């Protein structure tokens, strides 16, 4: 950020650390996915003329992943777009820098779920010479199964809880609820998937059970540690499920249902997703932004799953914003 002196401590010093972590996490995730798939990622580094860097990595047409996209971007600009912060509209228009990582994996096998994760860090320049820059984190991860498995849902949500539990026992229920609210298609009155974690505008984390007055540096450290913990929990949350499901034999009917459900995924991303719409409107590289879309998709007019089928159970038992860690597992689709 050219308008601020080189940071030496606290939140400001840590932009470098955030960028380093996102780059390392990208390597770690791509390595794990390329290893199980046997297909390398196409990796690029694209510099724009405003000092921004995009590092799209995409695995296409693999035996395990029909597509996987792991993108890291470092952006800076003179005017923070209003869409960047919902809670702090007064920051819009300031000089800013941003770092983000997004992960989308679309397995080929209909029994293996699609996963999505995103972590982001924003820092806006101070408005006066003495004020500290404002900063915040956002992110989370969510799962979109095509065929529901209660043990997968339980494992996913346990991992989500594990990721944030040490930072406050209220966080998992709060972030889970925010995830259910965000990944929802109002025009279908359907959740996109079974959720996970979603947080935004995070720059304060109370000590568990107390609203103590903590210095900002400690707040940064705590929010940053939580964000890393969410990043670190993605592979342990997702890969065991992929390993369990990617060799399951499947029928044409199951493949067809997967393609139809992927249609919902496209609808969500193109109609509702703030990140996708913002990326397209802000002039980001379209191929990087839309690498989140599944490679093959179908729509069928007035499709309704057969009552009592596994396809119907996905909607009635899984896409219901249920509390996976509190309730007994549904008997449908458990193994």
* E strand intervals along 154-283: 184-185, 190-191, 195-202
Cβ-contact 106, 114 below 8 angstroms: yes
CB of 264 to a copy of itself, least distance (A): 10
Secondary element (H or E) of residue 311: helix 310-313
| Closest distance to a copy of itself from the beta carbon of 215 (Å) | 43
| Dihedral class, residue 182 (left if φ above 0, else alpha if ψ from -120 to 50, else beta) | alpha
**Tokens, residue 217:** 């540096």
Q: Taking the complex as a whole, how short is the minimal distance between the CB of residue 67 and a copy of itself, in angstroms? A: 7
The minimum distance between CB 11 and a copy of itself, in angstroms, equals: 33
- Residue reference for tokens 């806006």: 124
Task: Check the CA dihedral 239-244-245-246 and report its sign.
Answer: positive
Closer to a copy of itself by CB, 112 or 293: give it. 293
Terminal CA-CA length for the chain: 53
In the complex with a copy of itself, which residue's Cβ is closer, 179 or 291?
291
CA–CA distance, 147 with 125 (Å, rounded to integer): 46
Q: Which is nearer to a copy of itself, 165 or 298 (CB)?
A: 298
Q: Which is nearer to a copy of itself, 181 or 208 (CB)?
A: 181
Classify the C-alpha dihedral 278-281-285-291 as positive or negative. Answer: positive
Nearer Cβ to a copy of itself, position 231 or 294? 294
- Which of 272, 275, 163, 280 is closest to 227 using CA atoms? 163
For 298-305, the CB contacts below 8 A with 24+ separation are 298/256, 298/259, 298/260, 298/262, 298/263, 299/260, 299/263, 300/260, 303/260, 305/257
Least distance in angstroms from the C-beta of 13 to a copy of itself: 36
Give the tokens for residue 11: 């939140």
Nearer to a copy of itself, 93 or 263 (CB): 263
Q: Which residues bind a copy of itself (CB under 8 A)?
A: 42, 58, 60, 67, 69, 187-188, 259, 263, 266-267, 270-271, 277, 280-281, 286-287, 289-291, 293-302
In the complex, the smallest distance separating the C-beta of residue 46 from a copy of itself, rounded to whole angstroms, is 11
The pair phi, psi for residue 150, each rounded to 5°, is: -60, -35
Active site residues: 116
């Amino acid at each position: 950020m050219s308008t601020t002196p080189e940071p030496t401590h606290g939140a400001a010093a840590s932009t470098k650390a955030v960028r380093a972590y996102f780059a390392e996490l990208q390597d770690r995730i791509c390595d794990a996915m390329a290893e199980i798939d046997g297909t390398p990622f196409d990796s690029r580094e694209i510099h724009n003329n405003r000092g921004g860097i995009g590092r799209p990595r995409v695995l296409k047409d693999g035996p395990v992943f029909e597509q996987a996209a792991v993108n890291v971007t470092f952006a800076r600009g003179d005017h923070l777009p209003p869409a960047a912060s919902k809670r702090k509209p007064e920051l819009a228009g300031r000089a800013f820098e941003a770092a983000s990582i997004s992960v989308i994996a679309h397995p080929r096998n209909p029994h293996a779920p699609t996963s999505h994760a995103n972590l982001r860090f924003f820092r806006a320049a101070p408005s006066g010479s003495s004020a500290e820059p404002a900063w915040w984190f956002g992110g989370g991860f969510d799962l979109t199964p095509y065929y529901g498995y209660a043990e997968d849902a339980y494992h996913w949500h346990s991992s989500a809880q594990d990721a944030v539990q040490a930072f406050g026992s209220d966080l998992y229920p709060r972030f889970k609820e925010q995830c259910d609210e965000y990944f929802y298609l109002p025009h279908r009155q359907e959740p996109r998937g079974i959720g996970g974690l979603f947080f935004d505008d995070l720059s304060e984390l109370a000590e568990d059970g107390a609203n103590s007055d903590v210095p900002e540096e400690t707040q940064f450290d705590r929010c940053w540690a939580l964000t890393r913990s969410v990043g670190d929990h993605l592979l342990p949350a997702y890969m065991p499920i992929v390993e369990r499901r990617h060799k399951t034999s499947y029928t044409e009917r199951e493949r067809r249902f997967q393609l139809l459900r992927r249609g919902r995924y496209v609808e969500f991303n193109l109609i509702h997703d703030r990140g996708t719409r913002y990326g397209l409107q802000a002039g980001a590289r379209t191929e990087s932004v839309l690498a989140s879309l599944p490679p093959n998709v179908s729509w069928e007019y007035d499709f309704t799953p057969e009552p009592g089928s596994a396809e119907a159970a996905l909607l009635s038992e899984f896409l219901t914003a249920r509390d996976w860690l509190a309730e007994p597992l549904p008997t449908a689709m458990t193994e």
